[in-house]
């Protein structure tokens, strides 16, 4: 059996997965812990923390490994991990993903951007950044990004044998979805082989990046008397961009015949219309574009469009922000 290369004072190697509901971090955490415990002889624990929504909201998954002679009696969220894996870059806007990272820790990011760019978004001083285009691999292999992220994590955690993970992938999929075994094995291997690293030296006296626990805006001091909620529930501020699995619809206005077939199938009212005169001077509704803030990339609109005015596009960083047509709410 191999031994842990790094441990904290309690003897644990700790991993935190920062993700968005729907990207498979919960399953990745389970498979990671299962591989360590059942195949490699470590003790392991895993759990996730997420809200009531299934998709689009932040998810944290925690994994602890230790040598078999140590019992895991700590089941609290991991605040000072050795490895952080960021499944989606949209998280930077809402969560301090790198908080609590050890000075010599590793942050793995699913991205197509370069090291310095990612480092400045993460606001980290030192440590190793690992980059993988997990979304690109998943789109090409028709799988999910979690398996590519697992491949990269196994390369980082050199005490974990990748062959053990291949066994767990086969066991997880072969009964119910045998057709997914080979694509997932390929995805895992590509994650393992394609991850790239850059290390930033640890300055002398460098400290752990302080962990910030997310505080609720409302508490017993700030809540209105009687617990009244003054703002109506709505999703106007929600950003569903994190639910997209690498593809989004691209709008070609010159081909659009304003038939509204796309709007009829869109589950999130993403299409933005305006009143304009047609060639005969009659007032009609004309499609202006897509509000990508609410688009979760289901591509139902692309299937419904009769005139190829919508096509699917591999999402590049910043594309949605640059090409978003904003809804006007009255
Ligand atoms: S992909 Fe199309 S149908 Fe799906 S949410 Fe986005 S705009 Fe709506
Ligand atoms: S379905 Fe296609 S043609 Fe019809 S309004 Fe939507 S984008 Fe335009």
Give the ligand whose atoms come closest to the C-alpha of residue 296. Answer: 1
End of a domain among 144, 177, 200?
A: 200
Q: How far lies 325's CA from each of 90, 96, 246, 279, in Å? A: 18, 28, 20, 24
Task: Place 86 in a pLDDT band, splitting at 50, 70 and 90.
Answer: very high
CA of 259 to the centre of ligand 2 (A): 5
The verdict on residue 123 lying in a domain is yes
Cβ–ligand 1 contact at 266 (below 6 Å): yes
Domain range for residue 247? 240-323
Cβ–ligand 1 contact at 325 (below 6 Å): no
Summarised one tens digit per residue, pLDDT across range 259-291 is 999 999 999 889 999 998 877 788 899 999 999
- Token representation of residue 239: 């950003």
Q: How far lies 223's CA from each of 58, 214, 232, 243, in Å? A: 24, 17, 15, 31
Say if pTM beats, i.e. exceeds, 0.75.
yes
CATH number reported for the structural domain that contains residue 258 in this entry? 3.30.70.3270
End of a domain among 150, 174, 200?
A: 200
Residues 195 and 272 both lie in one domain:
no
The verdict on residue 120 lying in a domain is yes
Residues 153 and 84 both lie in one domain:
yes
End of a domain among 147, 176, 200?
A: 200
pLDDT of residue 64: 95
Please give the tally of structural domains in the chain.
2
The verdict on residue 8 lying in a domain is no
The verdict on residue 41 lying in a domain is yes
Summarised one tens digit per residue, pLDDT across range 183-193 is 999 999 999 99
Question: What is the pLDDT of the chain when averaged over all its residues?
Answer: 87
The verdict on residue 102 lying in a domain is yes
CATH number reported for the structural domain that contains residue 155 in this entry? 3.40.920.10
Residues 143 and 245 both lie in one domain:
no
Nearest ligand 2 atom, CA 301? 1
Query: Residues lining ligand 2, judged by CB closer than 6 Å?
Result: 256-262, 287, 304-305, 307, 309-310
Cβ–ligand 1 contact at 296 (below 6 Å): yes
pLDDT of residue 217: 73
Nearest ligand 2 atom, CA 310? 7
């Amino acid at each position: 059996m191999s031994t842990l290369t790094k441990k904290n004072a309690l003897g644990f190697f700790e991993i935190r997965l920062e993700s968005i509901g729907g990207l498979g971090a919960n399953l990745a955490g389970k498979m990671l812990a299962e591989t360590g415990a059942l195949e490699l002889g470590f003790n392991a624990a895993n759990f996730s923390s997420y809200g009531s929504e299934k998709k689009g909201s932040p998810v944290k998954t925690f994994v602890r490994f230790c040598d078999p002679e140590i019992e895991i009696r700590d089941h609290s969220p991991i605040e000072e991990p050795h490895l952080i894996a960021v499944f989606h870059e949209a998280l930077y806007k809402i969560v301090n993903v790198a908080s609590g990272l050890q000075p010599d820790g590793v942050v793995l990011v699913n991205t197509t951007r370069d090291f310095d760019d990612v480092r400045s978004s993460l606001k980290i001083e030192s440590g190793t950044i690992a980059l993988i285009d997990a979304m690109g691999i998943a789109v090409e292999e028709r799988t999910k990004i979690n398996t590519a992220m697992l491949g990269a994590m196994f390369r980082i955690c050199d005490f974990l044998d990748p062959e053990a993970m291949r066994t767990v992938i086969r066991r997880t999929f072969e009964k119910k979805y045998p057709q997914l075994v080979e694509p997932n094995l390929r995805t895992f291997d590509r994650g393992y082989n394609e991850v790239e690293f850059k290390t930033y030296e640890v300055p002398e006296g460098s400290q752990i990046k302080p962990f910030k626990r997310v505080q609720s805006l409302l508490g017993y001091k700030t809540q209105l008397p009687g617990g009244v909620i003054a703002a109506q529930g709505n999703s106007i501020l929600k950003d569903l961009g994190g639910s997209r699995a690498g593809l989004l619809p691209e709008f070609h206005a010159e081909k659009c015949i304003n038939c509204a077939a796309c709007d009829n199938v869109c589950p999130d009212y993403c299409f933005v219309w305006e009143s304009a005169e047609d060639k005969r001077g009659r007032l009609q509704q004309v499609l202006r574009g897509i509000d990508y803030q609410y688009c979760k990339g289901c591509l139902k609109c692309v299937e419904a469009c009769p005139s190829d005015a919508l096509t699917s596009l591999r999402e590049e960083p910043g594309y949605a922000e640059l090409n978003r047509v904003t809804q006007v709410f009255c």
